[in-house]
Structure 1
Amino acid sequence: MSQASVDQYLGMMKEESGWADFDKADVFDEGVIIVRTLSYVAQLILGDWLFEYEPGQEIESY
């Protein structure tokens, strides 16, 4: 799951039509996509990225 895929569902609630399309983004099973959800996904992404590099190591640009 990417941050962008979760961002588009911010504020959506379980009661809304189409919940089945975005319920996978409800990582805390709260029935709503909130900023806490976005923060959690961002931390997962950054955590993986940060551990790939040593302090002072040059980061490749694309």
Structure 2
Amino acid sequence: MSSSPLVRMRSHLCKKKKKKKKKKKKKKKKKKKKKTHRICSTFFSLLTISANGEISFV
């Protein structure tokens, strides 16, 4: 069980965020890609999963 549903959810959310950013400004594709990835990692480092499996934000 190395690939937990949370990891899949994280990549799914990352992809969704990238799509939204791409639609807003297509000219700055490369810069936005880097930023979205950074935001995603920080966003999920703030996420905490309790023993029950509930996801909460810090």
TM-score where L is the length of structure 2: 0.36
- Say which structure is richer in helix: 2
Between 1 and 2, higher relative CO (CA 8 Å, sep ≥ 6) is seen in: 1
TM-score where L is the length of structure 1: 0.35
- Say which structure is richer in strand: 2
Greater gyration radius = 1
